[in-house]
Amino acid sequence: MSKIEKKSIDLAVLETLKKAQDDNVKTCWDRLEAQGPQCGFGQLGVCCTVCSMGPCRIDPFGEGAQTGVCGADADTITARNLARKIAVGASAHSDHGRDVALTLALLAQKHAHADKSAHSHGYEILDPEKLKKLASEFGIDITKSQEEIVKELSKKLLEEFGKQEGELNFTKRAPEKRRQIWKKLNIIPRGIDREVVELLHTTTMGVDNDYKNIINNGMRCALSDGWGGSMIATDVQDVILGSPQPIRGKVNLGVLKENYVNIVVHGHEPILSEMTVKAASDSELLKLAKSLGAQGINLAGICCTANEVLMRHGIPVAGNFLQQELAIVTGAVELMMVDVQCIMPALKEVASCYHTKLVTTSSKARFPGVTHVEFEVHDAYETAKKIIKIGVENFANRKKDRVNIPKHEMDLVAGFTKEVIFNMLGGRYRASYRPLNEAIIAGKIRGLAGVVGCNNPKVQHDYFHTALVKELIKNDVLVLQTGCAAIACAKQGLLIPEAAKTYAGKGLQEICEAVGIPPVLHLGSCVDNSRILTAASRIIEEGGLGEDLSDIPAAGCAPEWMSEKAITIGFYFVASGVYTIFGGGPFSVLGSQNVTDYLTKGLESVVGGRFEFCDDPLKMAELMIAHIDKKRAALKLKTTC
């Protein structure tokens, strides 16, 4: 690997990358180099593998073939390819949401049957208040018993997936003006599964050739994620696992502990890892750990599973997406337990270079030859215990001379949900969005920015996230974060209240200090981007900042994106009226000028939001601030200092 020092701004990463090199372990940065240069047809999105008359490619230089065998041109091909990614991204979040809804259904069962075996899963309704709120949104009589409510709500929620007609219930959370835009375009999602299936249908050979129609249908599918699957995942997780509250935690590879059994949870679904948290303090397991010479069991997380257990339990975060391999490279991880999404297939190979046991838990995500402990919801606690036991026993195999945990770790505060934002700003006794709206109207807060998304080895790890966010808060933009983006900024010390003083502009600093919040708020995992949508709807509801989501002085950005899920998130934000920038490489559509223009220009007059592709974080900040100022001007708000 060339120029390690350019790979990341995170010193823990650089140290560990050097160790990886010394240990002769290949990581994604090496593999990226081995891939280079990557296929230009793929990058431009003009390769079509839809049918077996192909694969066809459009010559981006205009010399060779300009249509595939079937006659599809660059517009159709890039739009179809993009639509397929939207469908996949939506399917990931929505399937996650489905599993959470199924867990809720299991709780209903428990209450129905109350037999002993069902108890062993260990779940409770930890936020009964939210349960009621949610139930009333679905028109359920909340005077009924909790058992009844859970039963009815889980039924209704599961119906959202299989619904054929009508509208997804959560789309009612959106302001009326926004709903009218969707209705006019006919993109209100009808059923979560239907939108994914229908979008995929339209992209098969010989169906939709109108790139605008393909993208509009893509937006409907994306909305079924943001205002459907993801929202269900978020809200029901809050019901079952408890709504997060601001909580202090620690982040970066330094959270791994030298003399402890280190168990890392990685992936996206918190249902099992929640039990892992419980099981990590199981006296039987602790005893076993101590008998093997460990001082205890240390649980840490990677990616969004980390975000989930962080914001509910303060479990430390070992790192974001690009640190999953590096956690193992420290030589100090006894076991890495993975569920679904963003789990690099390379983990198997990396783990095999150390003593780390990799354990898969989902039948959806298995590795050949890797220990699999199937997660059964009804037996969750025992499953978690079983897995941790494997890790504890593996402590004996740790090779001390191969252990090198970087010393870097940072404090952070996480757990700002949409409810918490207004609780905090409004104060305990004045729970309302009014103060937030007023701060924006007064210009103390210039606007809001959602900075979300992944890491991508194609850009310097964490640099885009942190450079952008620093610039935004310097300009009084309150930043809301989720996923790996939040972890990136947390590692650089931006998610502590003290960061306001160091980095934020005067207005934002004043607000942060008055309320005691960081200038960058951690809202959770990537399904929790739905929290941003709900929060934005509440802002409109509160009044004074326009009638539609697109009126709010706000912008979105995924500076280091890589996943299909990010594309879908981007689309539900844009379709909800948000100006959204993607960095670290554009969508694979640049092979079609029409599609590129539609995404980056045309959509604004259609849905109020549009995409921007930009590969410079400072320029991104400039663009976002300019957009925020444009929206402020439209609302006739005073310009900020």
Partner 1 sequence: MKQLYYKIKKCLGCKSCEIVCAVAHSASGDLFKALKEEVLSLPRKKVSFAKGNNYPLSCRHCQEPKCVDACMAAALKYDTEKKLVVHDKTRCVGCWMCIMSCPYGAIWPDAKVKIPLRCDKCQDKEEPSCLKACPTGAVAWEEV
- Alpha-carbon distance values, 145 to 110, 126, 128, 239, 241 (Å): 14, 15, 11, 16, 20
Contact indicator for 454, 566 with CB cutoff of 8 Å: yes
By CB under 8 A, the residues from 437 to 476 that bind partner 1 are none
67 binds partner 1 (CB under 8 A): no
Across-strand partners of 263?
299, 335
Nearer to partner 1 by Cβ, of 519 and 586: the residue is 586
In angstroms, what is the minimal distance from the CB of 54 to partner 1? 12
Q: What is the helix, strand, coil percentage profile of the chain, to 5?
A: 55, 10, 35
Q: Give the separation between CA 427 and CA 446, rounded to whole angstroms.
A: 21
The CB-of-611 to partner 1 minimum distance in angstroms stands at: 14
Task: Kindly indicate which of the ranges 36-44, 110-118, 318-326, 390-398 contains the residues binding partner 1, using the contact rule CB under 8 A.
Answer: 36-44
Determine the interface stretch with partner 1 among 9-17, 59-67, 458-466, 555-563 (rule: CB under 8 A). 59-67
Contacting residue, 9, 44, 347, 412, with partner 1 by CB under 8 A:
44
Is 60 among the residues that bind partner 1 (CB under 8 A)? yes
Nearer to partner 1, 33 or 210 (CB): 33
Please choose, out of 40-48, 168-176, 405-413, 418-426, the segment that lies near partner 1 by the rule CB under 8 A.
40-48
Of 605, 607, 602, 609, the residue nearest 582 (C-alpha): 609
Which of 62, 345, 368, 369 contacts partner 1 by CB under 8 A?
62
Minimum CB separation of residue 60 from partner 1 in Å reads: 6
Q: Candidates 8, 16, 41, 628: give the one binding partner 1 (CB under 8 A).
A: 41
* Closest CB to partner 1 among residues 55, 206: 55
Q: Binder to partner 1 among 1, 11, 43, 629 (CB under 8 A)? A: 43
Indicate which single residue of 2, 3, 24, 36 sits in contact with partner 1 (rule: CB under 8 A): 36
Residues present in the chain in total: 641
Task: Please list every residue from 483 through 502 that binds partner 1, using CB under 8 A.
Answer: none
Structure tokens of 278? 């419980």
Number of other residues whose CB lies within 10 A of the CB of residue 425 = 23
- The b/e string for 607-641 (b: 16+ C-beta within 10 A; e otherwise) is bbbbbbbbeebeebbebbbebbbebbeeeebeebe
List, as one string, the DSSP characters of 438-483. Answer: HHHHHTSS-EEEEE-----TTS-BTHHHHHHHHHHHHTTEEEEEEH
Using rule CB under 8 A, residue 590 touches partner 1: yes
Classify residue 544 by burial, with Cβ atoms within 10 Å: 0-12, 13-18, 19+: middle
What three-state secondary structure class fits 555? strand
Least distance CB 38 / partner 1 (angstroms): 8
Sign of the torsion formed by the C-alpha atoms of 233, 235, 237 and 243: positive
Radius of gyration of the chain (CA): 24
C-alpha dihedral over 142, 144, 150, 155, to 10 degrees? Answer: -80
Question: Under the criterion CB under 8 A, does residue 40 sit at the interface with partner 1?
Answer: yes
Of 233, 235, 231, residue with least CA distance to 126: 235
Piece of the chain touching partner 1 by CB under 8 A; list 41-49, 104-112, 425-433, 555-563 = 41-49
| One residue of 6, 22, 39, 543 binding partner 1 per CB under 8 A | 39
- Are 1 and 21 within 8 A, CB to CB? yes
Closest alpha carbon to 174 in 433, 578, 537:
537
Q: Which is nearer to partner 1, 498 or 616 (CB)?
A: 616
Which residue, 61 or 429, is less far from partner 1 as judged by CB?
Answer: 61
37 makes contact with partner 1 (CB under 8 A):
yes
Closest to partner 1 by CB, 316 vs 586, is: 586
Whose Cβ is closer to partner 1: residue 42's or residue 139's? Answer: 42
Site string (569-588) toward partner 1, x via CB under 8 A: -----------------x--
Of residues 63 and 165, the one with the C-beta less far from partner 1: 63
- Binding region for partner 1 (CB under 8 A) out of 61-69, 403-411, 447-455, 490-498: 61-69
Q: Is 61 in the site for partner 1 (CB under 8 A)?
A: yes
Beta-strand pair 410-414/247-251: antiparallel
Check residue 54 for interaction with partner 1 (CB under 8 A): no
Give backbone dihedrals phi and psi of 433, rounded to 5 degrees, phi first: -80, -5
- Our CB check for partner 1 shows the closer of 481 and 588 to be 588
Of 60 and 267, nearer to partner 1 (C-beta) is: 60
CB of 271 to partner 1, least distance (A): 40
Query: For the chain, what is the largest distance between any 2 Cα atoms, rounded to a whole number of angstroms?
Result: 71
6-35: contacts with partner 1 (CB under 8 A): 35
Strands 297-302, 317-319: pairing is parallel
Residue number with CB closer to partner 1 (147 or 615): 615
- Measure CA of the first residue to CA of the last residue in the chain; give whole Å: 46
Does residue 401 belong to the site contacting partner 1 (CB under 8 A)?
Answer: no
Written as six digits, the tokens of 199 are 């979008």
Q: What residues does 261 pair with on adjacent strands?
A: 297
- Give the containing element (helix H, strand E) for 611: strand 611-613
| 3-state DSSP assignment of residue 123 | coil
Residue labelled with tokens 């990136």:
488
Q: How far is the CB of 55 from partner 1 (least distance, A)?
A: 9
The one segment of 58-66, 305-313, 429-437, 495-503 that binds partner 1 by CB under 8 A? 58-66
Q: Which is nearer to partner 1, 36 or 345 (CB)?
A: 36
What is the rounded CA–CA span in Å between residue 618 and residue 211?
A: 32
CB of 348 to partner 1, least distance (A): 23
Residue 106 CB, nearest approach to partner 1 (Å): 47
Q: Tokens 């609302």, residue?
A: 635
Comparing CA positions, the residue from 155, 126, 339 lying closest to residue 240 is: 126
Distance CA 348, CA 351 (A): 5
For the bound state, the minimum distance from the C-beta of residue 39 to partner 1, rounded and expressed in Å, comes to: 5
- Backbone dihedral angles phi then psi of residue 620, each to the nearest 5 degrees: -60, -45
Site membership for partner 1, residue 53 (CB under 8 A): no
Q: Which stretch binds partner 1 (CB under 8 A): 38-46, 270-278, 322-330, 527-535?
A: 38-46
Q: Which amino acid is present at 108?
A: A
**Beta carbon of residue 3, minimum distance to partner 1 (angstroms, whole number):** 17
Total residues at the site for partner 1 (CB under 8 A)?
Answer: 15
- 57 touching partner 1, by CB under 8 A: yes
- Positions that interact with partner 1 (CB under 8 A): 35-37, 39-41, 43-44, 57, 60-63, 586, 590
